[in-house]
Structure formats: structure tokens, C-alpha cells
Amino acid sequence: MAPRVLISDSLSPTAVQIFKDRGVEVDYQPNLGKDKEKLAEIIGNYDGLAIRSATKVTAKLLEKATRLKVVGRAGIGVDNVEIPAATAKGIIVMNTPFGNSITTAEHAIALMFALAREIPAADASTQAGKWEKNKFMGVEITAKTLGVIGCGNIGGIVADRAVGLKMRVIAFDPFLSPERAIEIGVEKVELEELLRRADFITLHTPLTEKTRNILSAEAIAKCKKGVRIINCARGGLVDEVALRAALDSGHVAGAAFDVFVEEPATTNPLFGHPNVVCTPHLGASTTEAQENVALQVAEQMADYLVKGAVSNALNMPSITAEEAPRLTPFVKLAEMIGSFAGQLTDTDITGIRLEYEGDVATMNTRALTAAALTGVLKPQLETVNMVSAPAVAKERGLGVEEVRREEQGTFDSVFRLTVKTAKQERSVAGTVFADGKPRIVEIKGIQMDAEFQPSMLYVTNKDKPGFIGRLGTLLGDAGINIATFALGRQAAGEDAIALVAIDGAVDADLLDKVQALPNVVQAKRLRF
């Protein structure tokens, strides 16, 4: 069945076409983001949800999203998506981190000019027939200092354009490297210095607990008198009430805002001030940017739903479309080995060691680790998947250790997973054969050669004559056919392991009988 995607906000028709071309069924309902009840009613029918900013993907909505696998944000900010709730449900959240950056940076520059020359007010006055030539005295931006708070993608483009406009650019961003600052021609400074020196301040950080009210009343008071403030990032970065007071007192000469604490903003403390310019969250609204983000989000979502490739996910390691064919069999192997170890372990797991040897050590081991953790956790947590497993493992305090060795041994690649409990360590290793099938090659240090089968019996025993015959007879008498029988042992007479693939299932009674056979140490049913 083809995967189904719902587009619940207004997106370029390009997105619809791309989904169709890639074999994904698509429903375009651009006003649904504003209708929470209706959206909750139908979300259960979809594998993917493509949104802009109107749709709020809350934990409550996700409860109804029983088959949802991916949420794609055609844009950058994902503050309208409850990512921890999506992660807990194993739903990938992806965005398009670059598609609208230039457009948004250009909007910030446009707002800076609008402020410097009071263009919106001058336009309104002129069109009202007033010709108030003396009323609108602007300022030049050449040689002025622009303070950029948050110098990532958009902040970096704004800085680059401002340098071209002959401004001096200073930036506050704890994660901006000195090399990158030199590359984009900005002087890296602390916030206090930026506030003291900047003639214009432009904000380009996400809204986090650290950046909320980064321009507080106190910070605004430290600004140079006559500063002009531009916010094209997120409402809440500036204390709107404090800014209004500073505008009223004349300490701040002007403010241009595209984003507001409450959106849609129908009332706001800044509204009505003569030196304030506002736009309704138009930062990303150009034909080019909307084309970019629509195309990108549809490609990313279709790649995931159809091919399993993951890009620009905020809660899962990336898997490129190029690496997916080579990686996929190893993802399967890692999950099955994890599942094997998880099913064998009854007591609390305290830690997990993942060893990647040979070719597999050069692959995307973050994705493989996520798959292996899924396998380990699934016997206890049905709903866990590659998206949620790393977070669940962390939540449960499981120490996860990764070891990579590129030298090859007997096999081109070996993946070994060791589960640690308070009492013991138990490891299982596997590889992928040329036919793409995962195989078990080692259990507890004992060499084996077994395929994974849907129903298996795992028996450890003392290696004594007669065991195989007795086990075969017991299963045969119960009407259970043996499909494959793999054996391994430490040395003659020591610990041995039998891995038996069976048609049908062993019930609890029969398992007790296997357990009661002479020399059997442990018997377990396994399902893959």
C-alpha cells in the first residue's frame, strides 16, 4: 500500500507533485492546521504530515496519530512541534534548514532599511496626500555598527550582506568559531559589548530557555541610546513590554518585528508606536523560498517513507539515499542481534557495548546503534523504534558504548552486541552475507552459523552425547518440525549452544520439558 501524506498548511503545489511522482498518496488541506479538532479526527489515516507554522503538532494530536512515521516542517523553526512527544512515539521530525535562509536574511535587511528611512510611515503619509518632506529624517547605515545576536545560517547571511553595505558587523554567538567569524567578516564579541556598541541589533537565534528575553528590560537599558532593533527570528527573544517602554522614552529609536510572542498577533504592545514596523511573520514568504522548502520537505519525506533514507531529522541520525542500500541490511542485522540479546536477558540491563569490526565500522554507526537499541528494548517496549530508542535508553540510564575497528577478521564485517546486567555480560555477533541476509556468527564467544528465522529455540547445555537426539525426539513427538539446527560449543564436553529454527511455536509446557532434558542449562523461545 502506498504511504499517505497529509499537507495541513499552505505549501507550494510543487510538494504535491513531488509526493505523487515518488509514489506517495497526498491530501492537500492547507487550512487544516487552523482546525485542531478536524486534524485530530483524520490524522490517524496518514504516514506523514507536512506542515509550515500554523499546524501545532502537540502530544495530544500525536496520541491520535497511530500510523504517523514522519512530520516534515517546510521551514526552519520547529517550535510548533513537540519533539520529545514525537520521539517517544518513534515519529521522525525533519525540517528544511537552508531553504528559506536567504529570504529571511533579506527580510531582516529590508526591515533595517525600512527603519532607517521610516519607509512604511512615509509611504502611508505620502499616499494620504500629506507630502511631509520634513517629517521623515532618516539615518545612513554606512559605517554604522550592526550587532547580530545568533550568527548561524541566517545571521551569517545578514552579516555578509551588511558588510557589503559597508557596515561594521559585531556578533554575539557562543557557538561561533573564531575561524567562521573571520570568514564572514564579523567581530565576535560578548553580549554586553554588543549592546553597548550596536546602532542596529538584529536577532537570529532559536527561542530556547537561554534566549528567551535575551533582550530583557535590563539588556535594553544597556543598549546605546537611539538603537534600532530588528527581530525576524522568534517572538519572545525580546521583552515586548520593556521594548515599548524604551520606544516611548526615546531610548530605542525604532523596532522592526516580523515575529511576536503571540501569533497570529492581532494585538501587541508594540502596535501603534510611530517608530515600529511590523510584518505578519513574512520572513520566509518569497516565491523562491517557498518553492525551495516545499520541494525539499516533499523529497525528504518521500525518501524516508519509500526508501528509508533520513535527512535533516531533528530526532534521528541521517541516512542518505546513497548509503541506504548498503546500510539497510546492517540496520536489519543490528536490530535482530539487539533483539536476540534483549530476548535472552530477563534481568535489568545496565549497559550495552556495540562493536563494529571491518567494513561496518566505516558505515553510519549512529543509525546502526539506534537500530540495535531498538532491538534490545523491543521485547519490553513494543512501540520503540529507531527514533525513540536512543532517547529511551538514555532515560533508563543504559550506558551505551561504541567500539569501531576497521581491520577485518574472518568476515568482511562483524557486529557484536554485549548486554551487561548486574550479574553477567552476554554477547551476540552477526554479519551480513553476500545475499544481503543477516547471520548469527557468535554467541557468548562460541562460533555459530545460523540464519534468523521467525520462530527459534535457544538452548544452552553441557556438551554430552545424546542431547541432540533427545531434543529432536521431544520436538518431533510434539508435532514440531525442525527447519534448521545450528550448533556451537566451547570444547568437547564443555558449554554448548543449540539454535533451532522451528515451524510453529513452542508452548510453555513444551519449553519446560526442553528445560528438564538432561544437561540443559537454559532454554528460551525467540521470535524475529
Ligand X SMILES: NC(=O)C1=CN([C@@H]2O[C@H](COP(=O)(O)OP(=O)(O)OC[C@H]3O[C@@H](n4cnc5c(N)ncnc54)[C@H](O)[C@@H]3O)[C@@H](O)[C@H]2O)C=CC1
Residues 247-276 that bind ligand X (CB under 6 A): 258-259
Please spell the DSSP secondary structure of 324-351, one letter per residue: HHHHHHHHHHHHHHHHHHHHH--SPEEE
Paired with 442 in beta bridges are 429, 447
Site string for ligand X, 221-250 (x = CB under 6 A): -----------xxx----------------
Smallest Cα–Cα separation from 374: which of 356, 392, 391, 386? 386
Give which of ligand AKG, ligand X, none residue 49 binds (C-beta under 5 to 8 Å, depending on kind).
none
CA distance 307 to 471: 43
CA distance 123 to 131: 10
Please spell the DSSP secondary structure of 4-40, one letter per residue: EEEE-S---HHHHHHHHHTT-EEEE-TTGGG-HHHHH
Give which of ligand X, ligand AKG, none residue 71 binds (C-beta under 5 to 8 Å, depending on kind).
none
Give which of ligand AKG, ligand X, none residue 338 binds (C-beta under 5 to 8 Å, depending on kind).
none
DSSP annotation of 313: B
5 binds ligand X per the rule CB under 6 A: no
The grid cell for 16 is: 504535491
Interface stretch with ligand AKG, choices 141-149, 280-288, 325-333, 455-463 (CB under 6 A): 280-288
107 binds ligand AKG per the rule CB under 6 A: no
Return the number of the residue (76 or 354) whose C-beta is nearest ligand X. 76
Site string for ligand X, 283-322 (x = CB under 6 A): xx--------------------------------------
Residues contacting residue 170 through CB under 8 Å, at least 6 positions apart? 145, 146, 147, 148, 186, 187, 188, 189, 193, 194, 197, 198
Return the number of the residue (53 or 296) whose C-beta is nearest ligand AKG. 53
Site string for ligand X, 153-182 (x = CB under 6 A): xxx----------------xxxx-------
Residues 250-279 that bind ligand AKG (CB under 6 A): none
Interface stretch with ligand AKG, choices 157-165, 235-243, 270-278, 282-290 (CB under 6 A): 282-290
202 binds ligand AKG per the rule CB under 6 A: no
Q: Which of 234, 416, 426, 439 is catalytic?
A: 234
Distance of closest approach, residue 446 Cβ to ligand AKG, in angstroms? 54
Instruction: Give yes or no for a contact between 482 and 457, defined as CB atoms under 8 angstroms apart.
Output: no
Interface stretch with ligand X, choices 6-14, 30-38, 98-106, 493-501 (CB under 6 A): 98-106
Distance of closest approach, residue 173 Cβ to ligand X, in angstroms? 4
Q: Which of 263, 291, 323, 451 is catalytic?
A: 263
Instruction: Give yes or no for a contact between 313 and 364, defined as CB atoms under 8 angstroms apart.
Output: no
Return the number of the residue (205 or 413) whose C-beta is nearest ligand X. 205
Distance of closest approach, residue 120 Cβ to ligand AKG, in angstroms? 20
The grid cell for 177 is: 568559531
Residues 187-216 that bind ligand X (CB under 6 A): 204-206, 210-211
CA distance 337 to 73: 34
Q: Specify the 3-state DSSP secondary structure of 279.
A: coil
What amino acid occupies position 362? Answer: T
Using the structure block, give the residue that is written with the C-alpha cell 530557555. Answer: 209
- Order across the sheet with 495-503: list the strands: 481-489, 495-503, 455-462, 520-527
The grid cell for 224 is: 546605546
Smallest Cα–Cα separation from 496: which of 448, 460, 458? 460
100 binds ligand AKG per the rule CB under 6 A: yes
Among 30, 77, 317, 329, binds ligand X (CB under 6 A): 77
Residue 262, Cβ density class (10 Å: 0-12 exposed, 13-18 middle, ≥19 buried) = exposed
Distance of closest approach, residue 275 Cβ to ligand AKG, in angstroms? 24
Return the number of the residue (155 or 358) whose C-beta is nearest ligand X. 155
Residue 234 is a catalytic residue? yes
Using the structure block, give the residue that is written with the C-alpha cell 525604532. Answer: 254
Instruction: Give yes or no for a contact between 443 and 499, defined as CB atoms under 8 angstroms apart.
Output: yes
Residues 67-96 that bind ligand AKG (CB under 6 A): 75-77
Residues 323-352 that bind ligand AKG (CB under 6 A): none
284 binds ligand AKG per the rule CB under 6 A: yes
Distance of closest approach, residue 82 Cβ to ligand X, in angstroms? 16
Q: What are phi and psi of 343, to 5 degrees?
A: -70, -25
Residue in the shown chain whose Cβ atom is closest to ligand AKG: 75
Return the number of the residue (81 or 391) whose C-beta is nearest ligand AKG. 81
Residues contacting residue 218 through CB under 8 Å, at least 6 positions apart? none
The grid cell for 496 is: 554448548
Residues designated as active site:
234, 263, 281
Residues that bind ligand AKG in the complex, under the rule CB under 6 A = 52-53, 75-77, 100, 281, 283-285
Residues that bind ligand X in the complex, under the rule CB under 6 A = 75-77, 97, 100-101, 104, 149-155, 172-175, 204-206, 210-211, 232-234, 258-259, 281, 283-284
